[in-house]
Amino acid sequence: MRQVTPLTDGWILRHPDGTGAELPASVPGCVHTDLLAAGLIPDPFLGRNEAEVAWVGRRDWTYETDLPAGTGAHEQTDLVFDGLDTVAEILLDGRSLGRVRNMHRSYRFDVTGLSGRLAVRFASAYAEAEAVRGTVGERPGAYAEPYQYVRKMACSFGWDWGPTLVTAGIWRPVRLERWSTARIARVRPLVTVDGGTGRVELAVDVERTRVEAPLTVEAAVGGVRARAEIDGTHGTVRVEVPGARLWWPRGYGEQPLYDVELTLLHGEEALDVWRRRIGFRTLELDTSADAHGTGFTLVVNGERLFARGVNWIPDDVFPSRITRERYRRRLEQAAGAGVDLVRVWGGGIYESEDFYDACDELGLLVWQDFPFACAAYPEEQPLRGEVEAEARENVVRLMPHPSLVLWNGNNENLWGFRDWDWEPGLAGDSWGEGYYLGVLPRVVAESDPTRPYTAGSPWSGSWRHHPNDPAHGTHHSWEVWNRTDYADYRLAVPRFVAEFGWQAPPAYATLRRALPGEELAPDSPGMLHHQKADDGNGKLERGLARHFALPDGDFDRWHYLTQVNQARAVAAGIEHWRSHWPVCAGTVVWQLNDCWPVTSWAAIDGDGREKPLYHELRRLYADRLLTVRADGDGPVVAAVNQAAEDWHGSLRLRRMSVDGTVIGEAALVLAAGARTVAEVKVPPELIPVGPAEFLVADAWEPSRPDEAGTGGALRALHFPAPDRDIPYPRPEFEVALVPDGITVTARTLVRDLLLQADRLDPEARADRGLVTLLPGEEVTIGVRGWKTPDPETARRALYCVEPTR
């Protein structure tokens, strides 16, 4: 049987200062984390330390350890690296075993009979990128850093939400594998289901030391076993599982997973074993043309889905620090917000098995980008061969996961070619089209024909339409954030919104940790350093000014209002687009998470704290959503029902004044079939007139109790004027402590009340975000991690919209 020995201990990192100084090194890890552990660099996440450590990415570094001598009677010993970041030479006692230049691949070297001093010499990724650029010529990109010339996590070089921390190191596990006769080199599982029978076809490649040895493989799935012979170095074994239970996205059913075990045999001697988990489900991407353009609808097990998605970036700029537990925690947060699709964005990495395992278990669909983002990528060597090799390896590596439902060729590069002035400057030079429309779809078709492939995001399906045409395929909506008001999300109904979002700063406690000792202001030095977007603060300010009077010198008020604006902006888009299902078939919010403490579009900040947007997503992505849509001939209440059951209940409409007076009301019948949207036109006499009036829509379904146990209730509010024009009363409310939280009772209209729990204690968390109360209403906010509860402290941590005059 193959014997595996992890190589995790005894590594050192040689400092390139000419003295030969050495430091203890962690493997897996990277140079930055080793230097941090040794106290030789400051934490780049704090203050403006990022600039102080820029030199690290421009140096060469060497990792060393002793490679032990082989033991036992195995015929071959391989040195296996699951990930090297990025450009390195591997040497044993000074003799080169090979050179590598791709972070996204694994590597294997024959070290049979060898031992001695193992060294991995990393060259600066900058040096490699600049050398390749010198060979293939300049290519345009969204950022000045040369990330498109090296197969490395692009956001290592900085992004509009990320620091420039260009890493190097042994970022994934390394081990010795000792084996005899043969080993399993690759297993390509094709998993299908038809008529209740699950089918697993395992295409097996083996590597041999003895060509003449007869080999068989035995597969076991769900208690069913099958065998097949290996013909030379290839074989295929097929297993049928009667009565296979279907794997469903969360919210649509359960997620049964089946263990697969494939054993390589020489006679009855087990030589090697491959184990994974799979799920049975059918999958289709419907891109058929219709009266509205070209659709983009995921269909799982015959069920057409409105995808409730978030974009995922690497959860740490040093990805070797992301543990299995951290992946699980972050993805559980996503599931807790009602998310059912996670898009792994193309400026990051193919994530570890821990990420996809968690998605399999939680029922989170995965849209996987190939790692290309926001640049023209050369197609010449040495890059072309690396791209195909990494694609072939990772497609097969991730195939077992039922959560994986889509391969996507790139992020914004087809759009960039057409709209960002790339085409004239390229003058016919390669820019990546051959990857997205040639190499990558060929690799997916040959290796993983069970999953759909799309050439890019955004992409209209062909060059016959503009790449970002909202009527065709996927659409990125960034004009709104960059140039207009979030109300403009309501001007169009794209077929699938794969990116859109609005910025806000991180939680207050996150800022206090990241900017120690700084007097916080929107334009204080640390705040500006942790704002990476082009004119980010200007866009935040202009976005606020369209709705609120700008807080003059009051950082706490600015912080609260920018959080409110972020949640409202995303709500404006999702409510509108969900109400137009099935024309629009999905929204993927930019973004779920952050890789460090920063002002960004994230719902969860760099310290893992949930912004108000996160709690708003819980409402927006619930199976049932009530919203008021201002159509051309008057407002309409849309009841979005993504549940499997019909929604029958009552709808109460109230036209109210901000002083609490009910001007008019009506009780109507609400009926929305399963997976449909029902619309109820607001009677003319209930339409608010002027800035002092608003509409309240409450929907009840008595069979579904709400959190207070008083009968199911959903609410939508429609204020026809911006807050700056609304004559709000000065908010009055009472605060009382209750077990594990507080209760707030409103005496006036209280709009967008928010408890910033981290102001109570950095470890405290609230169970809800923004809530609007009518006079006499109350809400209980659960709080955990608050060590010394006190109502006055709670009152100081409560914020709400206040009158401007």
Closest to 149 in 3D by CA, of 431, 405, 337: 431
| Residue-level length of the chain | 805
DSSP 664: E
Tell me which residue of 412, 617, 357 sits closest to 501, measured CA to CA: 617
Other C-beta atoms closer than 10 Å to the C-beta of 533 total: 19
CA 70 – CA 19 distance, rounded (Å)? 33
DSSP for 156-188, written as a single string = GB--SSS-B----B--S-EEEEEESSEEEEEEE
**Strand, coil or helix: what is 760?**
coil
Name the phi and psi angles at 423, rounded to 5.
-55, -45
Catalytic entry in 50, 145, 412, 499: 412
- Alpha-helical segments (H) within 174-267: none
CA 398 – CA 793 distance, rounded (Å): 49
Q: Where are the alpha helices (DSSP H) in 363-486?
A: 383-398, 413-419, 422-426, 433-434, 440-447, 479-483
Phi-psi group of 374: left, alpha or beta (phi > 0 → left; psi -120 to 50 → alpha; rest → beta): left
Distance of CA 60 to CAs 123, 236, 439, Å?
Answer: 5, 45, 33
How do strand 453-454 and strand 404-408 relate by DSSP bridges?
A: parallel
Candidates 64, 121, 129; CA nearest to 89 is 121
Strand order in the sheet with 474-476: 453-454, 404-408, 365-369, 341-344, 307-312, 586-589, 496-499, 474-476
Q: Return phi, psi of residue 23, to 5°.
A: -125, 150
Of 464, 462, 463, 460, nearest in space to 494 by CA: 460
Helices (H), 23-142: 31-37, 49-52, 125-136
Compute CA distances 567 → 271, 561, 602, 615, 754, whole Å.
56, 10, 11, 9, 12
Q: Give the start-end residues of each E strand in 255-403.
A: 258-266, 269-278, 283-286, 289-290, 293-294, 297-300, 303-304, 307-312, 341-344, 365-369
Nearest to 533 by CA among 603, 598, 608: 598
**Alpha-carbon distance 107 to 172, whole Å?**
11
Spatial neighbors of 579 by CB under 8 A, at least 6 apart, are: 627, 629, 638, 640, 677, 679
| Cα 698 → chain centroid | 33
- Name the token pair of 49: 């330390």
Q: In terms of Cα–Cα distance, which of 594, 564, 624, 614 is closest to 768?
A: 614
Catalytic annotation present for 412: yes
Q: What is the DSSP letter of 26?
A: -
Q: Which residue has tokens 């493997």?
A: 27
- Please give the Cα distance from 774 to 658 (Å, whole number): 9
CA distance 377 to 331: 31
Tokens standing for 598?
């920063």
Which of 600, 155, 87 minimizes the C-alpha distance to 346? 155
Return the residue matching tokens 């204020």: 719
The token duo for 448 is 């993983």
Residues with active-site annotation: 412
